[in-house]
Amino acid sequence: MTFLVWDDQTMYYLMCTRDTAVRDNGSVNLLVWSAMKRAHELRLIFDLDGVLNGGTARFLSGFGGAIKTRLIITKRTACITMSCKV
């Protein structure tokens, strides 16, 4: 499954998901390619925003286009360790 959103100028690729039990990477490729073609038909920019790791970036860079660096801010819970004597 591929998650996309768009407005009057840009179609954004947010993320994709797949069944890890199925060994098929071709379906995600086809979905991304189909989304790119649809964006082109609608005369929209196709933005591959939301890439959080190197593996995904390498996969998506195979489709071409201009690569731009973006800052991504994530929220994390602080990890506090305490040792107490009872």
- The 10s digit of each residue's pLDDT in 15-47 is 878 777 877 767 888 888 899 899 999 999 988
Q: What does pTM read for this prediction?
A: 0.63
- How far apart CA 24 and CA 71 sit, in angstroms, is 31
Beta carbons of 14 and 6 less than 8 angstroms apart: no
Highest mean pLDDT among 5-14, 45-54, 64-73: 5-14
Domain ranges of the chain: 1-86
Which tokens belong to 67? 């690569």
- Helix runs in 2-84, H state only: 26-41, 54-61
Which tokens belong to 74? 């994530």
| Cα distances (angstroms) measured from residue 22 to each of 60, 68, 77 | 20, 32, 33
